[in-house]
Each structure stands twice: as C-alpha cells, then as structure tokens.
Amino acid sequence: MMFEAAELGRKVSKKEFERLEPELRTKLLETQRELAEAGIPVILIVSGVEGAGKGEVVNRLHEWLDTRGITTSAFWDETDEEREHPTAWRFWRHMPERGKIAIFFGSWYSGPIVERAFGKLSNGEFELELDRIASLERMLAADGALILKLWYHLPKKEQSKRIEADRKEDGRNTLDVSPFTKKFAKRFDEFAAVSERAIRRTDTGQCAWRVIESTNRRYRDLATGFIILDALRRRLDSEAATPEPPESHDIEIPDLEAARLTILDRVDLTERIEPEAYSRELKSLQSRLNALSWKAWERKKTCVALFEGWDAAGKGGAIRRVNRALDARLYRVVQIAAPTDEERAHHYLWRFWRGLPRAGHITLYDRSWYGRVMVERVEGLAREEAWRRSYREINAFEEQLCDHGITLLKFWMHISPEEQLRRFREREQTPHKAHKITEEDWRNREKWDEYRAAVNEMVAKTSTSEAPWTLVAGDDKRLARVQVLRTFVEAFEKALA
C-alpha cells in the first residue's frame, strides 16, 4: 500500500524545529507576496486520516502566512441550503481570487470517500465521482490555479493510541481527536483502501497528491511548510505552461456555399401565428405554467433557463411573458453583462455556480455562460485554447445540474439579418425604445457571419440529450413567445411526471 511509505517513523526534534521554522516562515511570506503580484490562485486541500492533526496544520499555516491573503473553508457538515444545490456548488462558493490562497479543510474528496467507506456509494458511483473531481481539477488548473493536495497519514496503531490518550483525559477532546475520530476509527481499513483508490485515480502531474507522515507533529508541520514553499516557488519560477492544443473535430473543406450552411439556416423564419390564436395560446400556456410552477415548488423541483440570441431577437419580451405566468416569490431574472473585477478574478463559471437557485425556485438568465464561446471567442477576449476547452467544461457543468434534478432550458432566439435591421431602425425612431440600441449593437451586426459560425459550433458541441438547445424562430415575436412558453410547460410536465 502507498501509505506504508508514510509509516517510516520520521521525527524532528524540538531543537531542529526551532532552528528551521524562522527561515521557513520568512520564505513563505516572501513567496506569498510574489504569488499575489503574479495573480496565481492557490487551492490547498488538507485531507487525511482522522486524528492526524489536520486542524493543527491549518492553525499553523495561519501563523506562518499573511492571513489577509488566505481564506479557510471547512467542509464537514452540509447545510440545508447546500443539500438543495448540486454538490460542487458549496466548493465553487469558496474558490479563491487570483493571487489568493484558499485552504480547503476537507474538500470534494471527503463526501465520496466517506460514503464509499460506509457503503452508501457503489463502486461505479464512486468512480464517477472521482472522474468528476479529476475533471474539475483539470479545468481549474487550465485556468491558472495551483492545486496542492496534502494527505495526512497516521498508522492504525497511532490513531488508537491517540484515542486511548483522549479517554484518559476524562473524555476531553485533544487537538488530535475530534468527535469523528472514534466513529471513523472503527472502519480504518475500509477508509484506507478507499482513500488510496481516490489518491491513485486523481494523482496527476498538474494536481499531484503529497502524503505526509503525521505521527510526529513537528515533522508534519515542517514537511507541510516546505512542500508548500517548493510548490509555490516552482510555479513562480516556471515559464507559462504550454497551452492545450485546440480540441476541434472540424473538417477542412473548400470554401463553398454549402460549407457555409449552419444549423441556424434550418430554422424556419417564415412561420407566423395569427393575433387571435396567439392570445388564446398565450393565456392557456401561462395559466398552465403558473400551476406547474407551484407544483414544482412543492416538490422541490428547480429550473434554470437561459436565453441567448441575436441583438433585438426578443429575449426580453420572451422572458417577460414567462415572468407574467409566475409568482414573483418563485423566480428571479439575472441579466449577464461584462464581468466585474471580482468575477474576472475567478474562473468564468464561478459567478454562475454561485447564482444557482434553491430547490423549487426558477432562475432566468438573460445571456449566460455561453458568452465564453460566443462574445469572448469572436471579440478575441479569450485565447483560442481557452474557449475551445470551454465546450467540455460547460457540458460538465450542465451535466451536474441535470444529475441533481435541475430542469435546464436553453433558448437561442434566432432572427434574420433583415428583421434585425428593421428592429434596430424601429428602436431608433421610438423614444421609449431608443435606449435599447447602442453602437455596440451596430458593431456586432458587422460580425454576423462570425457569430453565426460560433453559434453553430456552440449548438453542435453543447446540445445534449439532457440539456438540448431550443432554436426559436423569432422573426414573428408572437410565435417565438408561444414556443418558449410551450417548451417551459412541456419541461415542467416531464419533470413532475
């Protein structure tokens, strides 16, 4: 077993510790300041055997480092709010800003390891969780994060020894023995096997595990400090990582008219609905949606809907027709604009993870995380290797939402260039609509073909069986609104079936 390498009886004397600690602290502080200047986010995962002194380690790091650049989050007991969201939500809320260090006392490994050791997860389910963890870590590392994973090991006999010492203290908990230590000690062998599996499956070059022998406290703490210092220095001293090659399966074909066809060209923009039929449909669908939304609230069924589309394609009008069918207590609309300074200091998905609704509620996004593969792609705001890997990242994000039971609706509001031009001119001539038209809208129109190609690839790579795109024919606003409402009703009926 790999843990045998951490049972060698390493020790550090008090004299040696006092000699080495001051220089280590100085170097850690200097390196931390350089890290902040370089804008590198660090995620430090502190995991391991119960009773190994992980809490003491965290306290020591707070002594050695500048606490203004550190956040510490303990993941040991889920709140009701956390249980109402996908598992990763609780971790995304605590992701560090660029240049900051986030200490995760416990992490995304804790739940799967504990549940597998107690038989609450099958082996297949456990493997799926490990795959998701590895995918998450790859994504964060590709975005520039440094992930340090420290596992604190304690031999079985030493754990028993510490529990016994705790008993002799009349049941008063020592710093090593938490209320969980005795509970988990009964399954030491199961935890060891499951933990070793998790470490081996997720030990990668970018996100490597370091197993630290924890029998001797002074050795444990010094080893932690030097491992962190070495990792930070290596990252600061290294040259920029080689970007991943673009992940594209596009076929190179001649520049023919047929080659320029996209999925949007298959949307029938000629279809119309008569005003009287529209009024009947609108009233009926809104009534049904209202009833369904209350049933969904009662059964804790959550919905996330996002609206993308051309400027003036009718996103706002469609959202308003949905809102009129809902009670204001059940939904909120989030309008996505350029990221704030705080949002730019995190991974681009951070702000969307944090904004997910509680169970039974509805969130409507006016523009969304797909800006990464449209606006940022076309306008050159993201490097090619960055937006290309985002298809995989977005699919993984949406998969977690759907697996949690969230109904995810994705609308692309499509109109013709001619209809967009007509609406632009109408807005310019209508006082209460003039604010809707900007120079940016006209500039984006000049890049119609580039955006059309981006939308085509976006739909092709992110329309999945669980989270398909709905392409809405928007030249007739009434028809578009009916199609959106009908999609909502059908999705709620399916979720409640």
DSSP 298-351: HTT--EEEEEEESTTSSHHHHHHHHHTTS-TTTEEEEE--SPPHHHHTS-TTHH
Higher pLDDT, 238 or 168: 238
Do residue 399 and residue 356 come from a single domain? yes
Do residue 221 and residue 356 come from a single domain? no
Whether the per-residue pLDDT at 34 is higher than 70: the answer is yes
* Mean of pLDDT values over 373-399: 96
The token duo for 428 is: 């310019």
Phi, psi of 362 (to 5 degrees): -125, 135
Do residue 307 and residue 428 come from a single domain? yes
Output 109-118 pairs: Cβ under 8 A, ≥24 positions apart.
109/45, 109/47, 109/133, 109/198, 109/202, 110/47, 110/75, 110/76, 111/87, 112/198, 113/191, 113/194, 113/195, 113/198, 114/184, 116/194, 117/184, 117/187, 117/190, 117/191, 117/194, 118/187, 118/190
Do residue 164 and residue 268 come from a single domain? no
pLDDT of res. 433: 75
Is residue 255 domain-resident?
no
Whether the per-residue pLDDT at 171 is higher than 60: the answer is no
Do residue 367 and residue 406 come from a single domain? yes
CA 351 to chain centre: 9
Contact assessment for residue 126 and residue 207, using Cβ atoms and an 8 Å cutoff: no
Coil, strand or helix at 22? helix
141 class by beta-carbon count within 10 Å (0-12 exposed, 13-18 middle, 19+ buried): middle
In this structure, the number of other CB atoms found within 10 A of the CB of residue 24 comes to 18
Best CA proximity match to 50, nearest among 191, 204, 202, 226: 191
pLDDT of res. 258: 47
* Domain membership of residue 35 as a residue range: 2-237
Is residue 271 domain-resident?
yes
pLDDT, tens digit (0-9, with 9 covering 90-100), for 431-477: 877 777 788 888 889 999 999 999 999 999 999 999 999 999 999 99
Is residue 248 domain-resident?
no
Place of tokens 């109109």: 415
DSSP-derived secondary structure for 465-496: SSS-EEEEE-SSHHHHHHHHHHHHHHHHHHHH
Contact assessment for residue 292 and residue 491, using Cβ atoms and an 8 Å cutoff: no
pLDDT, tens digit (0-9, with 9 covering 90-100), for 37-58: 999 999 999 999 988 999 999 9
Whether the per-residue pLDDT at 77 is higher than 80: the answer is yes
What span, in angstroms and rounded, lies between the C-alpha atoms of 201 and 134? Answer: 8
Is residue 256 domain-resident?
no
In this structure, the number of other CB atoms found within 10 A of the CB of residue 427 comes to 18
Contact assessment for residue 482 and residue 273, using Cβ atoms and an 8 Å cutoff: yes
Cα-based torsion angle of the residue sequence 94, 98, 102, 104 in order, rounded to the nearest 10 degrees:
60
* Mean of pLDDT values over 269-288: 97
What span, in angstroms and rounded, lies between the C-alpha atoms of 322 and 421? Answer: 26
What span, in angstroms and rounded, lies between the C-alpha atoms of 367 and 69? Answer: 33
What span, in angstroms and rounded, lies between the C-alpha atoms of 467 and 426? Answer: 35
Place of tokens 């416990």: 106
Is residue 196 domain-resident?
yes
CATH (domain of 412): 3.40.50.300
Do residue 315 and residue 178 come from a single domain? no
Do residue 342 and residue 215 come from a single domain? no
Do residue 218 and residue 330 come from a single domain? no
Contact assessment for residue 195 and residue 187, using Cβ atoms and an 8 Å cutoff: no
Whether the per-residue pLDDT at 241 is higher than 50: the answer is no
Among 174, 204, 237, the domain boundary falls at 237
Which of 41-45, 105-109, 116-120, 187-191 is predicted with the least confidence, judged by mean pLDDT?
187-191
pLDDT of res. 305: 98
The token duo for 365 is: 């996004």
Residue type (1 letter), 196: E
Sheet holding 70-74, edge to edge: 70-74, 101-105, 42-48, 146-153, 209-213
Strand-pairing partners, residue 46, are 105, 150
Do residue 105 and residue 215 come from a single domain? yes
pLDDT, tens digit (0-9, with 9 covering 90-100), for 196-237: 999 999 998 889 999 999 999 999 999 999 999 999 999 998
Residue type (1 letter), 214: S
Is residue 243 domain-resident?
no
pLDDT, tens digit (0-9, with 9 covering 90-100), for 301-312: 999 999 999 999
Is residue 463 domain-resident?
yes
Coil, strand or helix at 51? coil
How many domains does the chain contain in total?
2
Do residue 148 and residue 213 come from a single domain? yes
Phi, psi of 201 (to 5 degrees): -75, -20
Whether the per-residue pLDDT at 319 is higher than 80: the answer is yes
Rg of the chain in Å (alpha carbons): 27
| DSSP code for 97 | P
Do residue 109 and residue 200 come from a single domain? yes
What span, in angstroms and rounded, lies between the C-alpha atoms of 304 and 283? Answer: 23
Coil, strand or helix at 153? strand
Cα-based torsion angle of the residue sequence 84, 291, 477, 367 in order, rounded to the nearest 10 degrees:
-10
Contact assessment for residue 310 and residue 413, using Cβ atoms and an 8 Å cutoff: yes
* Mean of pLDDT values over 102-115: 95
Do residue 181 and residue 297 come from a single domain? no
